[in-house]
Chain A
Amino acid sequence: MKLYVLIPFLPLAAFIINILLGKEVLRNKAHWPSCLAIIGSFIISVITLFDVINGRVINEDLYTWIISGKFQVSIGFLVDQLTAVMLIVVTCVGSLIHIYSIGYMHGDKGYYRFFAYMSLFVFFMLMLVMANNFLLLYVGWEGVGLCSYFLIGFWYEKRAAADAGKKAFIVNRFGDFGFALGIFMIFLTFGTIHYAPVFSEVKNFVGHTVNFLGFEVDLITLIALLLFCGAVGKSAQIPLHVWLPDAMEGPTPVSALIHAATMVTAGVFMVARCNAIFSLSPDAMIVVAIVGAITSLLAATIACVQNDIKRIIAYSTLSHLGMMFIACGVGAYAAGVFHLYTHAFFKALLFLAAGSVIHAVVHNDIQRMGGLKKYMPITYAVMFIGALSAGGIPGLAGFFSKDEIIWSAFASHSEVGKFVWIMLTAVAFFTPFYSFRMIFLTFHGKFRGTHHEEHHLHESPNVMTIPLMILAAGAIAAGWAGIPSVLGGGAHFAHFLEPVVGHPEFHGTHAQEFGVMGLSTTIALIGLVIAFVFYIRKTDIPVMLARKFKFFYVVLFNKYFVDELYNLIIIKPTFWIARKFLVGFTDAKIIEGIVNGVPKAIGVFSNKLRRVHTGIVHHYGIFMAAGAFFIILYVLLWR
């Protein structure tokens, strides 16, 4: 019995049950199939993880999907160390978020729909991580994008939500276009799109060049960059990051599951999966690292001035995703995946805790919150843990993974290693600052909302707080799997992933490692203290700073005007062409000309032809005889 096959298909079954029966039969019990399915998947994932730890890597084709000439694709699963980690992340965090959603979505009229989409999402995500070829990966890739669209626009009556869904979908198209081209290039180069042959043969193509858009470019660099296009879209890196903050219009569990823990990390997963390709192209690696570093720093600075609690966490997610790409870009794939794994816990925790807060105050603006500590102590506690973990305070999950990335950047052979290390150190300052700014504004001080709102404040039900507490435990302890050797740990996580992603070569001494670690930790603590001073002790300082550096404040508050820039250079010209040219000329003249002209011509012709129909049987008989005569004559004379 191949048990692991059930992992993706249990959620698919739950989706089918929910979409068929949810509305009429299950109604407010619609969570049962979805929750049971994902918990079942989690249990099987744990069994699979132990199998993999014992060295049983599965790479199996279950069903031949497409055969077209040389092009052969099967539905097959690859379960190795990397996949096992992803399975645990998706199903473990997913299970907790599903349970949390029972409380959060309670009473919503789209209750069954929500759980149906969640299950469908989990199915596609699991297909994505378990695929053993690029096409199946692409199916999962597009499938999670589709579910993301459904769930961002879940409250579709709200215009902002519907628009945000469309925006996410359209922006992702840009990235996926490149990703599809990358898969085409892989097929053209290798003649197959299955992982194993591609990754083993790629080293034979070092130094080959190919003509792309008139330029001779290095083949492997081209493939790597095209694949990275997809990762940029899916993981919301600059310049395609604009959709993720808007995606916060969806329900908060969706933000936690899709836009923090799983889907957006698919890009990192894909880069780590294709490390054989990326490692052979130093240029592509530099691009990955630089894009990650820029995204990380810009998102961290934007997060410092936002007032929407979910958007702050969304920018924090962007920043952390950027760090994962930095890790991949400097060759420390294991560190990137390690951060992906710890990030899933503490970021899902932050989102769900924010959801708990929103559940109580019914809006997202942290300027109108404050003093929630005494109303919701559990939420406060877990969110504090999450912020500590995200901020990289020693001992918690986030610290170990972040520290490993910073050290990898410093110690790697990459040409841009030192540059991204400086950026990362800056990010290390901003992360605790904005995290604790959010915490202090939300939970400390006096409540700044209306009396009516204050009356409504309450702690969330157990079904929501228990998953929060479990996630908080994860946010503390998840990182202990990868304590670096310099701190006396075994770096088990990196060793576990070594068969898949290899071992990066670092040059640096233990003293340097301690120095880097100490520097980033000190900076993180400074950020925390500054947040404490700004938002608890001397609350007039931020206002004064904002007034004094008005230019910086406005730029940051408007997210560097990227949306406005895109509006000007892409959206406006597109609309202009559509209105002036497509509607006025192509549609009105050409298409309608054809659409109306063809029936008109047919009408004229058939009016002539109807004369033949006299209604007299003999005439038809004569036509028949004449037809027979001419056919026989033709056969007789020309055959």
Chain B
Amino acid sequence: MVPLSWYMLLSLAVFTIGVFGFLTRRNIILMFMSIELMLNAVNINLIAISHYMQDLRGQILALFIIAVAAAEAAIGLAIVIALFRNKATAHVDEVQELKG
């Protein structure tokens, strides 16, 4: 039997890689993919805990996360298209109109 903490460490590793990708990639599409990585890491964690706690509610939560991820991806990619149409770039560091 694999201990729960292994799953949690795996989840943490994937999450950290997602964070790193989000913080460093210039391409907005890759940033979105990093977010998907983080969400998947959370899902792994939730389902593992659900399994070890013998409680299905964790998986329900994971299901909702997938639904929200789908919604987020749809909106996010629409924003990418709008951005690309207006600025002709997918590089986030070239877009800084919000500067204070």
A625–B97 CB distance below 8 A: no
A613–B23 CB distance below 8 A: no
A615–B96 CB distance below 8 A: yes
B97 interface neighbour in A611, A615, A618, Cβ under 8 Å: A615
Contacting residues of chain B (18-71) with chain A, CB-CB under 8 angstroms: 19, 22-24, 31
User: Which residues from chain B contact A616 at a C-beta distance below 8 Å?
Assistant: 92-93, 96
User: Which residues from chain B contact A625 at a C-beta distance below 8 Å?
Assistant: 19, 23
User: Which residues from chain A contact B96 at a C-beta distance below 8 Å?
Assistant: 614-616
Contacting residues of chain A (605-629) with chain B, CB-CB under 8 angstroms: 610-618, 621-622, 625
User: Which residues from chain A contact B95 at a C-beta distance below 8 Å?
Assistant: 615, 617
B88 located at the interface, meaning its Cβ lies under 8 Å from any Cβ of chain A in the complex:
no
The answer to whether residues A618 and B19 also contact, given A613-B98, A613-B99, A613-B100 and a CB cut-off of 8 A, is no
B24–A618 CB distance below 8 A: yes
B23–A610 CB distance below 8 A: no
User: Which residues from chain A contact B93 at a C-beta distance below 8 Å?
Assistant: 616-618
Given the complex of chains A and B, what is the CA–CA distance between A617 and B23 in angstroms?
9
Nearest residue (CB) in A for B98 is: A615
Contacting residues of chain A (579-617) with chain B, CB-CB under 8 angstroms: 610-617
B23–A614 CB distance below 8 A: no
Nearest residue (CB) in B for A621 is: B23
A614–B99 CB distance below 8 A: yes
B23 interface neighbour in A611, A612, A615, A618, Cβ under 8 Å: A618
B92 to chain A, nearest CB (A): 5
How many residues of B are counted as interface, with CB atoms below 8 angstroms from the partner's CB atoms? 13
A621 interface neighbour in B22, B98, B100, Cβ under 8 Å: B22
User: Which residues from chain B contact A610 at a C-beta distance below 8 Å?
Assistant: 100
Given the complex of chains A and B, what is the CA–CA distance between A618 and B96 in angstroms?
11
The answer to whether residues A617 and B92 also contact, given A622-B23, A625-B19, A625-B23 and a CB cut-off of 8 A, is yes
Q: Taking chain A's interface residues, is the majority helix, strand, or loop, or is none over half, making it mixed?
A: helix
B40 to chain A, nearest CB (A): 18
B92–A615 CB distance below 8 A: no
Nearest residue (CB) in A for B99 is: A615
Residue from B96, B97, B100 having most chain A Cβ neighbours under 10 A: B100
Given the complex of chains A and B, what is the CA–CA distance between A19 and B92 in angstroms?
62
B 73-100 binary contact with A (CB < 8 Å = 1; else 0): 0000000000000000000110111111
User: Which residues from chain A contact B98 at a C-beta distance below 8 Å?
Assistant: 613, 615
B2 to chain A, nearest CB (A): 25
Residue from B23, B31, B92 having most chain A Cβ neighbours under 10 A: B23
A55 to chain B, nearest CB (A): 71
Given the complex of chains A and B, what is the CA–CA distance between A621 and B92 in angstroms?
12
B49 to chain A, nearest CB (A): 18
B59 to chain A, nearest CB (A): 25
User: Which residues from chain B contact A612 at a C-beta distance below 8 Å?
Assistant: 100
Given the complex of chains A and B, what is the CA–CA distance between A637 and B23 in angstroms?
26
Nearest residue (CB) in B for A611 is: B100
B100–A618 CB distance below 8 A: no
A 560-579 binary contact with B (CB < 8 Å = 1; else 0): 00000000000000000000
Nearest residue (CB) in B for A618 is: B23
Nearest residue (CB) in A for B23 is: A621
Nearest residue (CB) in B for A622 is: B23
Nearest residue (CB) in B for A607 is: B100
Nearest residue (CB) in A for B28 is: A617
The answer to whether residues A618 and B92 also contact, given A625-B19, A625-B23 and a CB cut-off of 8 A, is yes
User: Which residues from chain A contact B100 at a C-beta distance below 8 Å?
Assistant: 610-615
Given the complex of chains A and B, what is the CA–CA distance between A618 and B97 in angstroms?
14
User: Which residues from chain A contact B92 at a C-beta distance below 8 Å?
Assistant: 616-618
Nearest residue (CB) in A for B22 is: A621
Given the complex of chains A and B, what is the CA–CA distance between A625 and B15 in angstroms?
12
B18 to chain A, nearest CB (A): 11
Nearest residue (CB) in A for B96 is: A615
Given the complex of chains A and B, what is the CA–CA distance between A614 and B94 in angstroms?
12
Given the complex of chains A and B, what is the CA–CA distance between A617 and B35 in angstroms?
14
A 180-201 binary contact with B (CB < 8 Å = 1; else 0): 0000000000000000000000
Given the complex of chains A and B, what is the CA–CA distance between A614 and B100 in angstroms?
6
Given the complex of chains A and B, what is the CA–CA distance between A264 and B27 in angstroms?
83
Given the complex of chains A and B, what is the CA–CA distance between A616 and B31 in angstroms?
13
Given the complex of chains A and B, what is the CA–CA distance between A615 and B98 in angstroms?
5
Given the complex of chains A and B, what is the CA–CA distance between A625 and B24 in angstroms?
12
A437 to chain B, nearest CB (A): 83
Nearest residue (CB) in A for B20 is: A625
User: Which residues from chain A contact B24 at a C-beta distance below 8 Å?
Assistant: 618
Given the complex of chains A and B, what is the CA–CA distance between A622 and B92 in angstroms?
14
Given the complex of chains A and B, what is the CA–CA distance between A384 and B53 in angstroms?
101
Given the complex of chains A and B, what is the CA–CA distance between A604 and B100 in angstroms?
14
Given the complex of chains A and B, what is the CA–CA distance between A617 and B31 in angstroms?
10
User: Which residues from chain B contact A611 at a C-beta distance below 8 Å?
Assistant: 100
User: Which residues from chain B contact A613 at a C-beta distance below 8 Å?
Assistant: 98-100
Given the complex of chains A and B, what is the CA–CA distance between A529 and B26 in angstroms?
112
A574 to chain B, nearest CB (A): 51
Contacting residues of chain A (81-103) with chain B, CB-CB under 8 angstroms: none
Given contacts A615-B98, A615-B99, A616-B96, 15 further A-B contacts (CB under 8 A): A610-B100, A613-B98, A613-B100, A614-B96, A614-B100, A615-B95, A615-B97, A615-B100, A616-B92, A616-B93, A617-B31, A617-B93, A618-B24, A618-B92, A621-B22
16 pairs across A/B with beta carbons < 8 Å? A610-B100, A612-B100, A613-B99, A613-B100, A614-B96, A614-B99, A614-B100, A615-B99, A615-B100, A616-B93, A616-B96, A617-B31, A617-B95, A618-B92, A621-B22, A625-B19
Residues of chain B having any CB pair with chain A under 8 Å = 19, 22-24, 31, 92-93, 95-100
5 tightest CB-CB pairs across the interface, nearest first?
A: A613-B100, A615-B96, A615-B99, A610-B100, A615-B98
